[in-house]
Structure 1
Amino acid sequence: MNIKMILMSSAAALAAISSAQAADAIVAAEPEPVEYVRVCDAYGSGYFYIPGTETCLKISGYIRFQVNVSPNAGGASDWDAVTRGQLQFTAKSDTEYGPLTGVIVLQTNADNASSQVAKLDSAYIDIAGIRAGLFYSWWDDGLSGETDDIGSKVTLHNSIRYQYEADNFYAGISVDELEDGYYSAGEQPNNVGVAIGIGGKAGVFSYQVTAGYDTDNEEGAVRAMGTVAIGPGTLGLAGVYSSGPNSYYQAAEWAVAAEYAIKATDKLKITPAAQYYGNYGIVAGDFNDNNDAWKVGLTVDYQIVDNFYAKATVNYLDPDQGNDVTSGFFRLQRAF
Structure 2
Amino acid sequence: MKTVIKNALLGSVAGLAMVGTAAAADLPVKAKAAEYVKICSTYGAGFYYIPGSDTCLKIGGFVQTDYYYQDFSYLPKDEYQDSYFLARGALRVDARTQTEYGTLRSYFEYRLTYGGGGSNFSESTNSNLDKGYIQFAGFTFGKVQSFFDYYADNNVWGVDSIEITSDENSIVAAYTADFGNGFTATISIEDDSSRADGVDYDIYGDTETDIPALIGNINYEGEWGGFQISGMVRQLDSDYYGWSSGDDVGWAVLGGVKFNLPTFGEGDTLYIEGTYADGASEYTGINGSYAPISAVYDLYYNPVTDSYESSKSWTIAGELTHFFSPNVYGVVFGNYGEADIPTNTTTSSFDLFNVGASLNWSPVKGLLFVAQYTYGEANYNQPVYDYKGNLTSNSDFNQVLLSVRRTF
1:196 aligns with 2:213: no
Per-residue CA deviation, residues 139-188 of structure 1 (Å, 9 max, x unaligned), is: 27435442761114xx2222111112335222111101123322423314
CA distance in 1, matches of 2:163, 2:370: 16
SS in 2 for 1:77: coil
1:254 aligns with 2:314: yes
CA distance in 1, matches of 2:62, 2:342: 36
Shift of 1:102: 0.9
Which of 179, 192, 198 aligns to 2:193? It is 179
1:330 aligns with 2:402: yes
Per-residue CA deviation, residues 233-291 of structure 1 (Å, 9 max, x unaligned), is: 433211111122355336271111233322222222222233211227899889953x2
SS in 1 for 2:40: coil
Which of 253, 258, 264 aligns to 1:222? It is 253
1:276 aligns with 2:336: yes
Q: Residues 307 and 335 of structure 1 are in contact (CA less than 8 Å); yes or no, is this contact kept in structure 2?
A: yes
1:136 aligns with 2:145: yes
The one-letter code matched in structure 2 to 1:69 is Y
Shift of 1:75: 6.0
Distance 1:97 1:86, change over 3 A: same
Counterpart position of 1:8: none
CA distance in 2, matches of 1:82, 1:75: 18
Distance 1:141 1:58, change over 3 A: same
Shift of 1:125: 0.9
Runs of 4+ residues deviating >4 angstroms:
72-75, 280-288
Number of residue-to-residue matches in the alignment: 314
Identity over aligned pairs, percent: 21
Shift of 1:223: 1.3
Q: Residues 91 and 109 of structure 2 are in contact (CA less than 8 Å); yes or no, is this contact kept in structure 1?
A: yes
Counterpart position of 1:149: 164
1:310 aligns with 2:382: no
1:162 aligns with 2:152: no
Distance 1:212 1:286, change over 3 A: farther
The one-letter code matched in structure 1 to 2:283 is Y
Counterpart position of 1:49: 49
Q: Residues 144 and 261 of structure 1 are in contact (CA less than 8 Å); yes or no, is this contact kept in structure 2?
A: no
The one-letter code matched in structure 2 to 1:142 is A
Q: Residues 166 and 282 of structure 2 are in contact (CA less than 8 Å); yes or no, is this contact kept in structure 1?
A: no
Which of 78, 82, 91 aligns to 1:78? It is 82
SS in 1 for 2:86: strand
1:209 aligns with 2:244: no
CA distance in 1, matches of 2:108, 2:256: 29
Structure 2: segments with no counterpart, 5+ residues: 1-18, 117-121, 157-161, 200-205, 238-248, 287-311, 381-393
Q: Residues 270 and 320 of structure 2 are in contact (CA less than 8 Å); yes or no, is this contact kept in structure 1?
A: yes
Which of 124, 127, 130 aligns to 1:118? It is 127
Shift of 1:191: 4.9
SS in 2 for 1:180: helix
Counterpart position of 2:277: 242
Q: TM-score, normalised by structure 1?
A: 0.82
Shift of 1:85: 0.6
Shift of 1:80: 1.4
Structure 1: segments with no counterpart, 5+ residues: 1-18
Shift of 1:91: 0.7
Per-residue CA deviation, residues 99-151 of structure 1 (Å, 9 max, x unaligned), is: 11111221111117961112222221111110101222132743544276111
Q: TM-score, normalised by structure 2?
A: 0.69
Shift of 1:328: 3.4
CA distance in 2, matches of 1:294, 1:126: 38
- RMSD, aligned CA: 3.2
Moved more, 35-44 or 195-204: 195-204
SS in 2 for 1:264: strand
Q: Residues 151 and 256 of structure 2 are in contact (CA less than 8 Å); yes or no, is this contact kept in structure 1?
A: no
